[in-house]
Structure 1
Amino acid sequence: MVFLFLHQNFPGQFAHLAPALAAKGHQVFALSSRFSKPDTWRGVRLIPYAYDEPKDQKLHPWLNTMNRAVDRGTVVLRAALALKARGLKPDAIIAHSGWGEALFLREVWPDARIGIFCEFFYATEGADVDFDPEFANPNELGRGPRMMFKNMAMRMQLEQADAGISPTHWQADSHPPELRQRLTVLHDGIDTDAIRPDPEVRLTLEGHGSWTRDDEVVTFVNRNLEPYRGFHVFMRILPELLRRRPKAQVIVVGEDGLSYGSPPKEGGTWKDKMIAEVRGCIPDADWARVHFVGRVARGDFTRLLQVARVHLYLTYPFVLSWSALEAMACEAAIVASDTAPVREVMRHDETALLVDFFDKERMVDAIDRLLSDPDKRRAMGKAARAHVVDHYDLKRVCLPKQFEWVDALVAPRH
């Protein structure tokens, strides 16, 4: 069969499924704006399309997300028509709905089966919006209509699709009932054969240092350092954490951009803003034990989780990060925010210590407790890995279920 994947940052959530289908002998293509020229990756033929954000368009602000989706969808439509003219006829199209790439593909291949990866559906309450009182806007005019337009492109893609997939129950349940019934809950999977504990691990990051399991390492990870993943809360616990743990080495992974949310109102980056806020409370000798390492390579990232004595994971009620499950797979002792997506995968005092997202004192207490109790760390880490192996293992759990979902997607209609 012929499969076409769409993801503006391919492979993204399709990093395992797309090459696995190619390995089964299917023809697999991926259309993405991430690449500048055609290539082949693990049997997947990569096809680039060029995309630039629309500029100087006068729109109502509620329409910005929808406008970008239509604009990108139109670019993809042109690329798809060109591929069709060259003879490409996919049996199935599998696309992430977040950027509008699959909006118009029924126009090109009306008989193809379409499966949509649905990551999140925004709501006016009960999730990320106004979760954090520091950035809340309870008197916002027209929040409901704004959310409606923010979701519109994702809704339209799923409504046209034959099936949808969502990685966790909480994320699937964020969708309204008429869309939720189209979704199968299937995580992309964690390769627990590769992402596993290593007692002999050594992490060396040029310009920062070298660490082993003998060091008291505390890790914190964001794709980009920002409030949605609790960066501001983490920074505010640093003075007390460093004071209590004079041997702790704190390694912070993350870039300075934005994945979610908004930049600081006064401009600049969240990293610069939070350093300016807390630096005066931290002596130079303690600050020297904090390492902002930016983005790290895949191998170093696994070693980071393997070397961590305690890993801190914070998130708004929002999309669950891969890093949380990968830390569990590495038997890291985890302190995490007691928020809905975390509670789905971690159990308090068994696989992690869950604390209120805003309770900085309890957060420091929890990290301090685990750093002082190697038996607790060991037991909790083993229980965390066992949970991931049982429920999220790539090869034995998730990928077989993804194949079943694909088989159902392409099965003949009756």
Structure 2
Amino acid sequence: MVHQNFPGQFRQLAPHLESRGHELVAICSHQRPVALKGRLFRYSEPEKLSGVPLGSQLWHDGQQRAFAVARLAQSLAADGWKPDRILGHSGWGETLGLSSVWPDVPQILWPELWVRPEHGGYGVDPLKPSISLESQLEQLGRNAMTRAALADASAWVMPTEHQANSLPLEFRDRRLHVIHEGIDTQLAKPNPSVSFALRGITIDRSVPTITLVNRNLERLRGFDVFMRSLPKVFTQHPQVRVLIVGDNEAGYGGEAGPLPLRQRMLKELEGQLDLDRIHFLGRIPHPQLMAVLQASWVHVYLSFPFILGWSLIEAMACGCCIVGSEGAPVSEVIRDGVEGVLIPINAPDRLADQVLKLLADPVRRQSLGRSARQRALLYDQRLTLNQLSEMLNA
């Protein structure tokens, strides 16, 4: 298994394969502890170039990663070790040299996304300008590296139809398998009696609670729209509290600015928000995240077209009543009025209205939450891991 941020997409698959008696060897470039029974090899992060376009930087990094991983593979081969399968993420160029070491070993890759302008918000975000030549060249560099990696692969895996449909037609054939990584619906499940303290807040289901969860608080995931909806919500609902999980970095959208979006939004909405009822929790451990979702009355998940976050499926599995954004990727897992309520992403007033309606309607909240839970069971890792195992053994 090759992934610079191992386990990454293999978080569930690696222990599943080990539990079935497979010998795993993993290669990564970080120094964090990893729970793995097998051997773990690490290589150094690439040296950065200065004064070059990002597209060129990506290829430079990819070549360095490919050389480092190939040398580790060569040392394994010299010791007489040979894998039956190579599993890797194609996004960083790490697998590009492995066919030189083991030309007859099948490679199964996780491309994740064929990057297009809309995935960065271009053409769909009215506040973004037309895509620049530099951004186009960056995407060209990423996709060219993916194309080179797939040329050596016998199969590739995408977690959703939306992400699979981002691939050019030449890669949408029998080699493509749409299989989600899966979530643990025995951990992510409803818990009406949830109660715990987090950063000085007692969290349970007695207080009307709105939740938002993202890796980073960014416009690509609708954080600004969410914040602009809150003044109306607070005015009309004096008891509601808001729990926000996520880091304060630029995120997938790569937004530039003198201040992070969180600070910009607090400045824009100064005097309009009850800050005593907004709790920014940052990034929290997974068990605490599950408790936050279990305490939620209404969960908001907005996104421009991009990858589907695991947190949405986990929120559904927890029985959350969800207000999401229309279109990809959310509409692939939520049907409007069935598993949740869908609205246009750039509509803070409509978001506020829908949240207020649901806060006042426990019967509908419970109905939507039950349906969301049932849909999430289709993504249970006990199902998806079996599908992945069958694909790997084919």
TM-score range, shorter chain: over 0.9
Are positions 1:271 and 2:262 aligned together?
yes
Q: Runs of 5+ in structure 2 lacking a partner?
A: none
| Pairwise CA RMSD | 1.9
Is the contact made by 1:35 and 1:49 (CA closer than 8 Å) also made in structure 2?
Answer: no
Matched residue type, 1:258: A
1:78 deviates by 2.8
* Counterpart AA for 2:96: L
Deviations 1:287-335 (A, max 9, x none): 1100001111111011011010010001110000000000000000000
The residue correspondences of 1:127-206 to structure 2 (distance < 5 A) are 128-137=121-130, 140-141=132-133, 145-181=137-173, 182-206=175-199
1:92 paired with 2:85, answer yes
**Deviation of 1:244 (Å):** 1.9
Partner of 2:12: 16
Instruction: Give 4+ residue runs of structure 1 displaced > 4 Å after superposition.
Output: 142-146
- For each residue in 1:233-256, what CA deviation from the matched residue of structure 2 results, as whole angstroms up to 9, or x when unmatched? 112222222222211110110112
**CA distance in structure 1 between the partners assigned to 2:232 and 2:385 by the alignment:** 43
Letter in 1 for 2:373: R
Equivalent in the alignment of 2:108 = 115
1:243 matches 2:235: yes
1:280 to 1:363, Cα distance in 2 relative to 1, 3 A:
same
Contact 1:203 1:304 in 2 (8 A): no
Shift of 1:10: 1.4
- State the partner residue of 2:372: 384
**Cα distance in 2, alignment partners of residues 62 and 21 from structure 1:** 35
Sequence identity percentage: 37
- How far apart are the structure 1 equivalents of 2:154 and 2:249? 35
> Which of 378, 385, 391 is matched with 1:399 structurally?
385
CA distance in 2, matches of 1:29, 1:19: 12
Matches of 1:318 and 1:351, distance apart in 2: 20
Instruction: Give the partner amino acid of 2:143.
Output: N
Task: Tell me the number of residue pairs that the alignment of Structure 1 and Structure 2 aligns.
Answer: 393
Q: Aligned partners of 2:77 and 2:251: how far apart in 1? A: 33
The residue type paired with residue 378 of structure 1 is Q
Match of 2:271, SS state, is helix
Q: Give the corresponding residue for 1:411.
A: none
1:173, CA displacement in angstroms? 0.7
**Number of the residue aligned with 2:24:** 28
- Change beyond 3 A, Cα 1:291–1:125: closer
**Aligned AA (2:388):** Q
1:268 Cα deviation after fit: 2.9
| Map of 1:55 onto structure 2 | 49
The answer (yes or no) to whether the contact 1:311–1:335 under 8 Å persists in 2 is yes
Q: CA deviation at 1:144?
A: 5.2
Q: Select 1:345's aligned residue among 317, 333, 337.
A: 333
Query: Counterparts of 1:49 and 1:152 in 2: how far apart (Å)?
Result: 23
The aligned counterpart of 2:271 is 280
Deviation at 1:128, TM superposition (A): 3.7
**TM, length-normalised to structure 2:** 0.94
